[in-house]
Structure 1
Amino acid sequence: MERSTFVYDGDCAFCTRCAEFIERHIPTSSRVMPWQFADLTALGLTEAECDQAVQWVGADGVRAAGPDAIARLLGDSSLLWRVAGAALRFPPVRAAAWPAYRWVARNRDRMPGGTAACAVPAAQRD
């Protein structure tokens, strides 16, 4: 793989807004793309994984999900964003980031820019 790839849910307006923020404000050499348009087989990902959380597949083959994927993306950016990514990998922050990420994922239809199409089916909610 020649470039790292950050994959998000393109059917979710909130997720798309977040990806647009990344593209406008976080300089990265990584591809940022909706999983619905990604070659998941080539990336070694499944639809189920992508439906659960954002995904990172590094050019070196390293994979990460959720806040760990966000930390990897930030680590592939400018100094300020790399510092933020390092902070997100700091064990106490990482421990808090996962529950926060899961809460946002479950409630993304209620987030700014979210729509009913963003809602996670009730059967998949914790």
Structure 2
Amino acid sequence: MERPVLLIDGDCGFCRATSGALASRLNDGGPRDVEIRAAQDAELGVPVERTEREVVLVLPDGSAFGGAQAMAQWLIWHRGPLALAGRFLALPVVRSLAGLAYRAVAANRHRLPGGTAACAMR
């Protein structure tokens, strides 16, 4: 694996729409792009049950980050000015707050734009 892979719940419209919007802003066809895959189709050693609760970013070295920290690591991987935002999200106090916010959004993703009944946490 040469670049990170963001594993999402492929059955969730909110997850597909949100990750697609982020990829359209962050991916530019260069070496720092992140590939997005439905967890149901990926075989990277991450349990599908985990990706039903949170997105998971698997880096080329095999390390995996979930939820808000997956987003932080995506920004850090991207480099440039956005890497500072990722490093900020990775700070201990901010990481805790970002995790709370992420869990609130994940728990309500079926109610958010693009969400459907398939997006409800199982």
Regarding TM over 0.5, the answer is yes
* Deviation >3 Å, runs of 4+: none
Unmatched tracts of structure 1, length 5 or more: 122-126
Q: TM-score, normalised by structure 1?
A: 0.86
Q: Which amino acid aligns with 2:56?
A: Q
Identity within the alignment, %? 37
1:19 corresponds to which residue?
19
Aligned length: 118
- The alignment partner of 2:10 has SS state of coil
Select between 106-115 and 71-80 the one with higher mean Cα deviation.
71-80
Q: Structure 1 CA distance, aligned partners of 2:96 and 2:23?
A: 27
Query: Given residue 60 of structure 1, which amino acid in structure 2 is its aligned partner?
Result: D
Is residue 36 of structure 1 aligned with residue 37 of structure 2? no
Secondary structure at the aligned position of 2:36 is classed as strand
Q: Please, what TM-score do these two structures have when normalized by structure 2?
A: 0.88
Hey, what's the Cα distance between the residues in 2 that align with 1:114 and 1:22?
Answer: 16
Provide the secondary structure at the position in 1 that maps to 2:6: strand
* Contiguous gaps of at least 5 residues in structure 2: none
| 3-state DSSP of counterpart to 2:78 | coil
Residue 66 of structure 1 deviates from its aligned partner by 0.6
Q: Residue deviations 1:32-51, cap 9 Å, x none?
A: 11112212xxx121111111
Paired with 2:20 and 2:79, the residues of 1 have a C-alpha distance of: 17
